[in-house]
Structure formats: C-alpha cells, structure tokens
Chains A and B, each alone.
Chain A
C-alpha cells in the first residue's frame, strides 16, 4: 500500500483499474463519471496502454466484446443512461463468457433523469438489464477506498468465472474526494493470457470460436446450463457483506453503497440514544447475501431497508428475510440523498418511538 492521496472517486477508480493491470479502455463521456474516461485518456498512454473514445456506449460495449474476446484485460465505465445503451452488449458478453469490468456511476432516472447520485439501477445490474438468462457479478463499494480495493477483485472474478463484473457506484462516490491508498502495480506478466479459449490466432491449433449463439435449442440450453452451473458456484463462493453491531441488535438496517455509509452514521446516532440496532451492508449485490441475512435476523424484531430509489434491493432483502420478521422500507429517489437524521426518524417510527 502506498501513502494516502486525496483523490476524486472517478479518478481513483481509473487508477485502481490501471494498477490492476488494465491497459485497455473504451468509453463515452457521460456525467457524473466523465472524469474516469478523462483520466484514462491522460493516464493510459503514460503506461503504454490504449484509450479510445467510442462514438457511443453501444460501440464501447462492443469494443469491449472484441477486446475481451482476445483475452485482454479491458474495461469501460458509464452512468445510468449509458449503461442502458450497453445492455445488448452485456447480454452478448455474458453469453460468450468474456471477462471484463463495467463501472456504472449511477445517477437519477428513469430516462434522462438527472446527474445526482442514485441507486435506481439495482435491478438493471443484478436482475439483468439485457435479454436472456444471465447474471453480472455486481459489487457495491461504500467508499472510494473500498471501490479502489474492489476493482482488482472485479477483474479477478471476471477472469476466474469468464463472466463480466460490474462495480455499481453512484454519483456521490464518483464525484467526492477522499484520502485513498492504492495497491502496487500488478505485474502484467502475471495476468492470465486466456490462450486456451481466446481469439489470438490459430497458429498450430484448432480455431477458437466465441459466440453466444446456437440455432439448436437443445445445444443452446446446454450452453445456458454451463452458465448456470457457473452462477451457482459464484452464489456459493463469492458472497460478500459487512455486518456491524448486529449481535445484540433488536433491529437491523440494510443498505448498500453510499447509503450503507450514511447508515453507519445513523447506527452511531441510534446507539447513542440507546436504540439496539445493527447494520447489514451487502457488498456483493449479486450474488446477494440471502443466507447471511437470514441467519442474522433470527430473533430480531424488524428490518429497515434504505435505498436511494423507490425500493429495489428491498425485494432481495424480503427474499432473504423470507417473511420471518417485518421488512420496512425507506427511500428517496431522483438524485435525492437521505440525511442521517431523516433515516433515524424513520427508524424510530418503525420501532414505535416516533416523535
């Protein structure tokens, strides 16, 4: 770990990707993530990498498809409307089993929405915004440091499972500045070369064919079963979450990303007032930590899920809780970020101590 530097979230994520061995980036400007694209444009040539600004997000995601087909570490970043445009390509990339990383710095929606932080793309990331039976490994950092730490993991998981990873950030994480320490530069010779399946030229071997396509339904089903086995393994092995002060808690708050971080303040405020509450923060949104949540809520009185949306992750929280205790929801949307006081009030109302 290096000394701590004061860095903007978007730039920190770009630097983390470069340090993770990514030397190839395709992307299209969109607020509030453009600093990530700009940083790559400036920085990649310094490290003998390649940056290309595409003509659209549609082109960007297909450039990612092409580069990932060759087994090269590659990424793109965008914000909500741009990630919508990429969904066709995301579907093809999962079907073709190509490793790569997406960063969505989420902003308010739907439609053109606004450019403020939001969490309303949870469904798009975790439930599949494109067509077909597929999943994205979706990781949600709650600080810039955590984003920087999750990016190498996102690449490694993508390589291991030959499936794209998504860093689901938001406009707050993208735009704010924090002290961050970066890991050392990854030795590029240690990156997997994927020569066992990638398109690198068939000199001395049978040609490699990369596709999400088979006209025979039985064969396509077989392909889907391969993906599905992989997804089962990911659900088994790659669940990540953070649980704080849950042991003696009577109530559990659940939030991810920026909202999770705000709730860590609410947790302190509530505890100071003697409210026995704990915080559960999923880090992997897919695979969602259903079992961990279910184990945790045994004997508790209720759950409060808080999101910067009208309620998306709360559906997974309910699946995890499985009807055992009441699940309440509080959300602000359209780019509005709930304050700690606002959430504390909701918590008090839930436990019958509302003012």
Chain B
C-alpha cells in the first residue's frame, strides 16, 4: 500500500492567519519557504528576519525564532545573527522598497561579503503597505500614487535590477529570479529557494531568490489580471533565470 500524502500546513508555518490581500503572492512564497525548512529539518535552528513593508508580520507567520528589522536593514541584522551563531540558519524576507531602495547598501555588502545568509526578495514593483507608491523596481510608465503620470526615466530614473547588480559581487553563491504565477513556476521557485538554503547550509556564501510577485490591490487589478500583467510586463523588464549557481545539481 502506498503512503497517503496529505496536503497540510507545513510545520514551519505558524497557525496565525496571513494579513495579505487576495491574489497577493506573499502567501505562496511563505509556504514554499516553510516547506523547505520542513524538508531540511532545520526548523529548530532557523532564525528569521522580517522587513518593514506588507510582510512586516512575517516573523509571526513562521514557527521559528524571528524578529523584524528596521526598514532595509535586514541583511545587517542577519549578519549580526550569523556571525554570533554560525551554526544557525538565518534568512531575511524583504520587499522591493526595503531591499532595493532604503536597504541597497546593506544587501550589496552582505552579498559581497559572502555572508552565509539567505534572502528571499519579493519584487512587485510597488510599495504595498504604505498604499501604492513608486518602488525602485516600478516599471517605466507605470502609474503609482507618487508617479501619478507614470514613471519617467528623466525624473525617476529606471527600474533597478537587483539580480543583475548582485551577480557581479563575488560573495554570491546562489542567485535566481523566479515567478510563482503558475503551478509549474511555483515548482521552479521552490527548487530555487531550496538551492538558496542549500548554499547556506553548505557554507558556500550569500544566496538570494527574487520572486516577481503581484500586488492586485495597489496595481488596481483583479488577481487574474495581475497574473497576466506580470507575465506580459514584469518578465520583460526582469527576465527570470539563474544568475549565479555555485551549488550545482543534486546527483
């Protein structure tokens, strides 16, 4: 008789209800991280650093020791933890405003030091929690509450490409950009997150997975429209793929 597989909440997720809007991708990504923590059996030694942004409560959604950093500073906080306790697994969870605007220095230097931490980076091209302002990753022409006429390169510059910047830093062990807007993409994203944690467990260096995500609420779309918009617009600006892989494939 074959074992029955039951779809259930991963152990590494707490019983707290998510605070995310319908159609938002945070929930999917949270679950993937929790599944990886369960599969590696590292729940008892994982330390989590949440950001400031929509996922500010993320430290309560995971059933691991957790904190919330000042805006943008999660990689520095995680560095302090990892240097204090190298045997623990430390990950940060950050949005685009947190990581790619106010926290640009911290992420680049953590990556460049090869800090043995893992970062999950949610890029939805907009500030969610504060109500739909322009992010560093907002697309040209995209309307937000602080770019009401559409983002213009002359005034606001260009969408920043985090993976493309970080791939030049020698301390990076794993770097991939993924999406989670179809079942097959979710499976690929899970593999990417698994590899990122593997990089840390093996002590290879810094790892980051960027997840292109939707924000139906602040994009002013239905969840379904948002998925389509992500495919048609965000993926053009931010091509998905592996940028750095020092982990290699499982044999």
Chain A residues in the interface with B (C-beta under 8 A)? 24, 26, 50, 52, 54-56, 58-60, 62-70, 72, 74, 88-89, 92, 96, 199-204, 207-211, 213
Contact = CB atoms under 8 A, between A and B. Distances in A.
Interface stretch (B76-84, B93-101, B206-214): B76-84
Nearest to A93: B70
- How many chain B residues sit at the interface, stated as a range, is 20 to 34
A200 B85 contact: yes
A353 to B, nearest CB: 54
Contacts of A69: 47, 67, 77, 80-81
B109 A204 contact: no
A89 B88 CA distance: 23
B238 to A, nearest CB: 25
B65 A63 contact: no
Given A62-B70, A69-B67, A209-B67, A199 B83 contact: no
B173 interface: no
Given A65-B73, A66-B82, A209-B67, 19 more contacts: A26-B83, A50-B84, A52-B83, A59-B76, A63-B77, A64-B80, A65-B77, A66-B77, A66-B78, A66-B80, A69-B67, A69-B80, A70-B80, A96-B67, A199-B67, A204-B44, A207-B62, A207-B63, A209-B60
A67 B84 CA distance: 5
Contacts of B66: 199, 207-210
Given A63-B77, A63-B79, A67-B81, A202 B69 contact: no
A25 B80 CA distance: 9
Contact of B69 (A24, A52, A62, A208): A62
Contacts of A202: 43-44, 63-65
24 contacts: A55-B105, A58-B73, A58-B105, A59-B76, A60-B76, A62-B73, A62-B80, A63-B83, A66-B67, A66-B76, A66-B78, A66-B82, A66-B84, A67-B80, A68-B80, A69-B47, A70-B47, A70-B88, A89-B73, A200-B88, A201-B46, A202-B63, A207-B14, A209-B67
A70 B81 contact: yes
Contacts of B67: 65-66, 69, 96, 199, 209-211
A62 B68 contact: no
Contact of B80 (A55, A63, A204, A208): A63
Contacts of A207: 14, 62-66
Given A203-B44, A204-B44, A207-B64, A70 B69 contact: no
Contacts of A63: 76-77, 79-80, 83
B56 to A, nearest CB: 7
Contacts of B46: 201
Contact of B109 (A55, A72, A213): A55
A200 B62 CA distance: 15
B45 to A, nearest CB: 4
A248 B82 CA distance: 57
A259 B94 CA distance: 47
A201 B47 contact: yes
Interface of B: 14, 43-47, 49, 56, 59-60, 62-70, 73, 76-85, 88, 105-106, 109
A201 B42 CA distance: 9
A203 B65 CA distance: 10
A92 B70 contact: yes
A52 B112 CA distance: 13
A62 B59 CA distance: 17
Contacts of A203: 44-45
Nearest to B19: A215
A110 B9 CA distance: 54
A303 to B, nearest CB: 41
A74 B82 CA distance: 13
Contacts of B106: 55, 58-59, 62
Given A69-B77, A201-B47, A208 B65 contact: yes
B45 A66 contact: no
A66 to B, nearest CB: 3
Contacts of B43: 202
A230 B24 CA distance: 41
A64 B80 CA distance: 6
Given A55-B109, A66-B81, A74-B84, A211 B59 contact: yes
A199 B68 CA distance: 12
B223 to A, nearest CB: 25
Across the A-B interface, the 7 shortest Cβ-Cβ residue pairs: A66-B80, A203-B44, A62-B76, A63-B80, A67-B80, A66-B77, A199-B65
Contacts of A54: 76, 109
Nearest to A89: B70
Contacts of A208: 65-66
B80 A201 contact: no
A199 B85 CA distance: 10
A213 B55 CA distance: 13
B79 to A, nearest CB: 5
| Most chain B Cβ neighbours within 10 Å, of A60, A74, A201, A211 | A201
Contact of A50 (B14, B44, B45, B83): B83
A71 to B, nearest CB: 8
A116 to B, nearest CB: 29
Given A63-B77, A65-B80, A89-B70, A70 B85 contact: yes
B80 A74 contact: yes
Contacts of A60: 76
Contact of A65 (B60, B63, B65, B69): B69
Nearest to A100: B80
